[in-house]
Structures are given as structure tokens and as C-alpha cells.
Amino acid sequence: MDTIILADWLSARLDRTAAEPTYRQMLELMQQAILTGQLAPGTKLPSSRTLAIDLGIARNTVLHVYDQLTAEGYVNSTTGSGTYVADTAPRDGVAKKAKTEESKAPCTISRRGERLIAQAGVSPKQWGAFMPGVPDVAEFPARTWSRLQARLWKRASPDLLTYAPGGGYRPLRRALSDYLRVARSVKCQPDQIIITTGIHQSIDLAVRLLTDFGDRAWVEEPCYWGVRSVLQSSGLTLVPIPVDEEGLNPTPRDMVEAPRIALVTPSHQYPLGMVMSLARRRALLEFARQHKVWIIEDDYDSEFRYGSRPLSSLQGLDDAGQVIYVGSLGKMLYPGLRMGYMVVPEALVETFRLGVAELYREGQLMQQAVLTEFILDGHLTSHVRRMRGLYGERRELLINAIRARFGDTLAVRGDEAGLHFVLELPHFADDRAVTADALAAGVVTRPLIHYFMNHDKALRGLMLGYACVPNADIAPNFDKLADVIERALTPMHTPMPTPLAQA
Ligand SMILES: Cc1ncc(COP(=O)(O)O)c(C=O)c1O
């Protein structure tokens, strides 16, 4: 590239009417000229006085620019002998090597990154009828929370404002272990609790600490896509294991090659909603013990059961120390809180305490302290109890709306617990198309097929969340959705069969 006459080159480019100061413009122009070689290494720059006169600007401005260029290594200046363009080109060896390895292909993202992005399922809308898995955040006792928070901030001790010691705020770990022992029959001491930013992070941490790239991971078929993403992006090979009415149901063939890790939702299978039977729990634990498999028990929403009491946790039955129990406060309080916990076997406490600190450099102790007070003052229990009543009503209103419109022709699955259920559609229905049309009509839902790895054998249906929909909005919104469903179920231009026609 030709070497330029600096004053002329700058003069042609400086915009004296621009809002950007001359100093900034000049600095950027000179940096660009040096990087592109228009000002070649070794070129002597004019003195600040000469350049200032040639450009008709204050000498101080030029001195300022030269100082900054020197500080950033673009030029070298030696008192008395002047300012020279520095040699910033990559060293010979590096440049040559790079040239030979250069290909036409652009710099790419990783294969696991590609897989992650390709199957991403996060919804642009996180609220409203019938967003699955979201609690009614408008009902969150914000005043109580802010009172506790204000009290803690008044005497904010440095301890609460630093990084969290591995594992999280000790009093919170104690409060959670008391809660889990009683409510979920989890066998744990406070040390075994590790506070995380939610189930996603808990699983990410467990996978990084317990598995190696390429290991096999059993996941339920169908399962929560978010967890699948975490496992896949860690380079695990996912093996989908079908579920039936009793939960995870591996075939003898599945069991020939044991996985390194198995991820299950025994309290409330996600998304179909069944509870894993005691026999299956014992079989899974025995298989895991014999083949040294880690089990992750995802207990994401078992606080919300509307009929029977939930079975005790799988972790409570584990004598081999191979179950990692993970839970979240997102559904009990609000998802944006991003707080969850894991209960790790005693032998892994130190590994996980160090792991969580090294990987994520945990903080949020103030938030954890607020939550501790919230729990100890009894607000968590009373909020969950109140929400259980409210969500129970909403669930019933939605089921009534379904029955009013479709009678018994469409089955509802997994409605005994949680914040959502599945409305099954006939196999010929395209649940993805229904979801897209529903969104256009202003109603959010998720297609069941989305949760299956093997689409050929996928059930068709819609995930309907009712928890975040005010009672009065349930029937009108379901009517909008029902119109979309009816269109999808009606053979082209033929009259609708009963009982759909009665709608
Ligand atoms: C089965 C299951 N596990 C985990 C999560 C996510 O939990 P968290 O928000 O704590 O990461 C969800 C969210 O809906 C879920 O359905």
C-alpha cells in the first residue's frame, strides 16, 4: 500500500462539522492508517507543531493523539528524535503459518454450538395464556420481599457483597435442607446443598463434573428440551428412553450398554405428567448401582400437586450415593429470580463446592439472604399454599373449557400436578402448525412433538400452562385456541364430526 502524506490524507477525511471531536476522529483515522499499512512501520510522523499548522487545529489536539497512539503501541516516540510508526504486523512465522493454513471457509462455531442453536426452543413470549411452566408472577408477595430486602441492605455486611463461598449462603443451605427433608424425604445435611442459578445450571455443573465428552446420557423420551440442550452442548451422546404410565421404561436392549448418567423426572414426568412407580424407582437405582451410573433427579415442580400427596424423592431411596437431586425456586417464587439448588451425595460435596465456585464464581448472597428470611418467616410455605389453591382453580377452569368445547374427544394428560398439562391431539394433527396458528391468534402453547427426539413415534398434543392466566381469561383464550384446533382437526371442506360440530 502506498505511503500517504499524512496532513493531506487527514485533511480530506476530518469532518469539522461532525459532533465527534476532532481528537477522536484523528485518532481513529491514524489507527486505521497504521493497521492497513498506509502509514508503514518506521515512517516518521510530522512534528506535532507542523501537523497542527497544516491541519489548522490546536497543537494540543495533535499532542493528545500522539500520546494516545504511543500508549496503545501504534507509534514509538523518543524524545528529541521524533515519533515513528511501530511495527505491529504479526511476526514472520505466525504470518506465514497463518497464510498456509488459510482456507476459504469462514471462521465457524463449534458442532455442539450448532446443535444447541438448531434445537433452541426458548419462547420469545414468557407470559400469558397458555404459557407452560410459568407461575403467576403477578401474585408474588413483592411487598414482603422488598421489606426483607430493605432490612438486609440497611446492614449490608461485606460478607454478603462478595463472591459466594462455594455452595452458597450457609443459612439458606440449612433452611433448604430442613425443607427438603420434611417435604420431599430427601436425605441431606446442609453441606450437601449447593445453591445454583436454577436447574439448568445444576445440570450443567453435574455434567461437567461427572461425565466426559462422548459419554452416553439417558434422557426420558419425551423430555424437557432445555435439559437436552445442556447435555448436548456438553458433548454427551443422548439416548432417548421411552416412558410409559410408570415412568422410565428401558428395554433389555437399552440396558446392554449402561450410560454414564441418567436424567429423570420421577415426581412428575416432564412433559407427560406421570409419577414413576416405586418398582421402577427401585429397578433404576439397582441398575445404576450395578453399572455405576449417576442419576440426576429433576424435581422441578412437585410442590404443586392437586390430589394425592407426591411420592417421596428418588434420592431418599438411594443408598449408594449416586443420585443428584435438583430443584428450583423459579416455579415457587418467580422464574427471573434464577435460583435453584442441588443436593449432592456426601462423597461429592467438596467436588461440587469447588466446581461451582471455579466455573461460575457464584455471588447473589444478598438475594440468598433475603430468601432465607423469606423461608424462615414462613412466607414460602404460605405463598406456595395460596398458589396451589389458585392454580388448582385455574386448572379446573381450563379443563371445564376443554370439556365444554370438545367433550371427551381430546384427552387431558398429566393434570394432577404442576403448572401445565397436555391436551392430546389425534395422531394426524400437526401440533406445530396448531401452535403457530394459535400464536397468530394471540395464544401461546407448545407442541408436544418438540419434546421428542424421535419424531416418528411422537405423540401429538399441546402443552397448556394455566398457572399464569387470570381466572377470567381462561375460557375466552381457550375459545380462541379451540377455533384453531378445530380447523386443524377438520378434514378439508367436510362438515365436522360430532362432538366437535357441537362446539
Ligand atoms: C423439567 C424441567 N426442568 C427444569 C426446568 C428449568 O428450571 P430452571 O428455571 O430452574 O432452570 C424446567 C422449566 O420449565 C422444566 O420444565
pLDDT, one tens digit per residue, over 84-104 is: 999 988 876 666 666 666 667
- Apex 484 CA angle, 482 and 486, nearest 5: 65
User: What's the pLDDT score for residue 104?
Assistant: 75
Residue pair 387/379 in contact by the 8 Å Cβ criterion? no
Residue 335 Cβ < 6 Å to ligand 1: yes
Residue 330 Cβ < 6 Å to ligand 1: yes
Which residue stretches of 80-198 are H helix? 92-101, 111-118, 142-154, 158-161, 170-184
Q: Which atom of ligand 1 is nearest to the CA of 224?
A: 1
Residue 301 Cβ < 6 Å to ligand 1: no
Please tell me the distance from the alpha carbon of residue 236 to that of residue 230, in angstroms, as a whole number.
Answer: 9
Q: Is 72 helix (H, G, I), strand (E, B) or coil?
A: coil
CATH placement of domain 6-85: 1.10.10.10
Give the residue carrying C-alpha cell 397458555: 130
| Distances in whole angstroms, Cα of residue 487 to Cα of each of 221, 294, 499 | 29, 46, 14
How many CB atoms lie under 10 A from the CB of residue 274? 18
Residue 328 Cβ < 6 Å to ligand 1: yes
Residue pair 271/414 in contact by the 8 Å Cβ criterion? yes
**Which H/E stretch holds residue 55?**
helix 48-55
Give the residue carrying C-alpha cell 516518521: 44
**Residue 333 Cα to ligand 1 middle (Å):** 13
**Residue 199 Cα to ligand 1 middle (Å):** 6
Residue 265 Cβ < 6 Å to ligand 1: yes
**Mutate which of 205, 229, 328 for ligand 1 pocket (most atoms within 8 A of beta carbon):** 328
User: What's the pLDDT score for residue 88?
Assistant: 84
Residue 273 Cβ < 6 Å to ligand 1: no
Residue 406 Cβ < 6 Å to ligand 1: no
The protein residue with its alpha carbon nearest to ligand 1, atom 13, reads 133
**Residue 259 Cα to ligand 1 middle (Å):** 22
Strand partners, 44: 84
Which CATH superfamily hosts domain 382-502? Answer: Aspartate Aminotransferase, domain 1 (3.90.1150.10)
Residue 271 Cβ < 6 Å to ligand 1: no
The protein residue with its alpha carbon nearest to ligand 1, atom 10, reads 198
Q: Which residues of the chain, if any, have pLDDT below 70?
A: 1-3, 92-103, 310, 491-503
Q: Which amino acid, one-letter code, is at 216?
A: R
**Mutate which of 131, 200, 207, 326 for ligand 1 pocket (most atoms within 8 A of beta carbon):** 200
Residue 340 Cβ < 6 Å to ligand 1: yes
The protein residue with its alpha carbon nearest to ligand 1, atom 12, reads 300
Q: Which atom of ligand 1 is nearest to the CA of 198?
A: 10
**Which H/E stretch holds residue 437?**
helix 431-440
**Residue 3 Cα to ligand 1 middle (Å):** 60
Structure letter (DSSP) for residue 301 = S
Q: Which atom of ligand 1 is nearest to the CA of 201?
A: 11
pTM above 0.75, yes or no: yes
Please tell me the distance from the alpha carbon of residue 228 to that of residue 243, in angstroms, as a whole number.
Answer: 16
Closest CA to 255 of 270, 239, 244: 239
Domain boundaries, the chain: 6-85, 113-122+141-378, 382-502
Please tell me the distance from the alpha carbon of residue 259 to that of residue 216, in angstroms, as a whole number.
Answer: 5
Residue 266 Cβ < 6 Å to ligand 1: no
Closest CA to 75 of 59, 91, 62, 57: 62
Please tell me the distance from the alpha carbon of residue 72 to that of residue 222, in angstroms, as a whole number.
Answer: 55
The protein residue with its alpha carbon nearest to ligand 1, atom 14, reads 133
- Grid cell locating 498: 360430532
Strand partners, 248: 243
**Residue 200 Cα to ligand 1 middle (Å):** 7
**Residue 310 Cα to ligand 1 middle (Å):** 18
Please tell me the distance from the alpha carbon of residue 306 to that of residue 415, in angstroms, as a whole number.
Answer: 8
CATH number for the 113-122+141-378 domain, one of 2.40.110.10, 3.40.50.720, 3.40.250.10, 3.40.640.10? 3.40.640.10
Residue 199 Cβ < 6 Å to ligand 1: yes
Please tell me the distance from the alpha carbon of residue 41 to that of residue 35, in angstroms, as a whole number.
Answer: 10
User: What's the pLDDT score for residue 502?
Assistant: 36
Q: Which atom of ligand 1 is nearest to the CA of 335?
A: 9
